[in-house]
Amino acid sequence: MRSFAVSALDEPPFPPRRHAETDLAAEASLAWAQELGLITNGDRLIRLRGAAAAELAGRTCPDAADERLRLLTDLVTWLFVVDDACDEDGLGAAPTRLAPAVADLLEVLDRHGAPGKPGRGPLGDALDDLCRRTRAQGSPALLLRFVGQVRDYLLALLWEAANREHRRVPGVAEYVQLRRHTGAVHPAFTLTDLAYDAPPAAARRVEPALVDVETLAADLVCWCNDLFSYDKENQSGPDAHNLVSAIAAETGQDEPAALRAAADRFNRTLAVYAEREAALLADDPTVGPFLAARSNWVRATYDWSTRAARYA
């Protein structure tokens, strides 16, 4: 299936780049995960190493200060650990199983990285560390956005768990909307903005044109992930949480047709994104860092997906 995805998807028209300290960030992030108890030596360490979180982060912010590359890499590492716990270790099999863990993590988020009370368990301790380090960067607006976006991610995981429990396949529109949150793309965008150190002012940040282009970028990241991960996710049975699965269930198309439809959707959206990015840059070059934080994520996800062992 990977060969299909590579041949069917248009290559993002953004130049690939990679941070010079990516390899160092990879080892440092694995050590961070071990120190906080997110993983131990063994299969989970091998799985996390193969996920190559730093490879993804290093391609999204190739010019960032090392400290901010580390922060983004650690966020991606934490997200991979949470996703694996939900998808492969059974935590997300039902809302009643997942809800206590989500409640603990929401309590961490409610503190907004303030000193004092630690997190609850390794996942909470690691999230508390991420919030503290984000708070220390001195950008309250980005901290508030990050906390809210991680909260959306956690609540969306409960939606996934409910679907799993009832063996429910969501419709395409519902899936596309919630996928932006289950993919945790928005908090990753926010820490990439921090890495670029030039986020737009709040008034500009909420302009419809910028909100629209960010939504398109989030969709592209998630759908690229879906196409590359489809084969692995369906090895042990159908996975409802994939664009291909949603299209197949809603339209009645067979698997090859649904795969083609998902790839076509990605390609059309990529073309629209490139057009709107060019128009925004022509109108106001100062939004360049904001757009780079999104287009680099699209390119990085494509390149990382062709290389990482996560979908093998």
pTM score, two decimals? Answer: 0.95
Both tokens assigned to 51: 């996920």
Check whether 171 has a pLDDT greater than 90.
yes
Q: What pLDDT score was predicted for residue 1?
A: 41
214-252 burial, b for 16+ CB within 10 Å, e for fewer?
bbbbbbbbbbbbbbbbbbebeeeeebbbbbbbbbbbbee
Position 7 scores a pLDDT of 67
Compute the average pLDDT of residues 145-165.
Answer: 97
How far apart CA 154 and CA 71 sit, in angstroms, is 19
Q: Which residue has the tokens 């196409």?
A: 227
Residue 311 has pLDDT above 90, yes or no: no
For residue 196, the model assigns a pLDDT of 86
Percent of the chain with pLDDT strictly greater than 70: 95
Q: Do 216 and 272 touch, CB atoms closer than 8 A?
A: yes
Asked if the model's pLDDT at residue 5 lies above 60, the reply is no
Cβ-contact 212, 294 below 8 angstroms: no
Q: How far apart are CA 156 and CA 210, in angstroms?
A: 23
Q: Which has the closest alpha carbon to 245: 269, 229, 266, 221? A: 229
pLDDT of 236 over the 90 cut? no
What confidence category does residue 88 fall into, taking pLDDT thresholds of 50, 70 and 90? confident
pLDDT at position 89, please? 86
137 three-class SS: coil
d(CA 285, CA 234): 43
Predicted confidence band of residue 41 (pLDDT cuts 50, 70, 90): confident
> In sequence order, which residues have a C-beta less than 8 Å from that of residue 269 and are 6 or more positions away?
216, 219, 220, 223
What sign does the CA torsion over 69, 36, 55, 261 have?
negative
Is the pLDDT at 62 greater than 90? The verdict is: yes
Least confident of 39-43, 51-55, 218-222, 290-294: 39-43
> Using CA atoms, how far apart are residues 132 and 123, in angstroms rounded to an integer?
14
The pLDDT value given to residue 308: 74
Contact between residue 232 and residue 311 where contact means Cβ atoms under 8 Å apart: yes
Q: Which pLDDT belongs to residue 231?
A: 85
The pLDDT value given to residue 259: 94
pLDDT confidence of residue 119 = 67
Kindly report, residue by residue over 239-287, the tens digit of the pLDDT: 789 999 999 999 999 999 999 999 999 999 999 999 999 999 999 999 9
Whether the predicted pLDDT of 23 surpasses 60: yes
Residue whose tokens read 């062709």 = 306
Identify the pLDDT of residue 172.
98
pLDDT tens-digit map of 123-142: 999 999 999 999 999 999 99
Tokens of 183: 């993919």
State the angle between helix axes of 172-182 and 208-233 in degrees (0 to 180), rounded to the nearest 10.
90
Please say if the pLDDT value at position 3 is more than 90: no
* pLDDT above 60 for 92: yes
Q: Compute how many other C-beta atoms are within 10 angstroms of the C-beta atom of residue 177.
A: 14
Burial of 189 (0-12, 13-18, 19+ CB in 10 A): buried
pLDDT band at 60, cuts 50/70/90? very high
Between 141 and 202, whose confidence is greater? Answer: 141
Residue 208, pLDDT above cutoff 80: yes
Amino acid at 46: I
Average pLDDT for residues 181-185, to the nearest whole number? 98
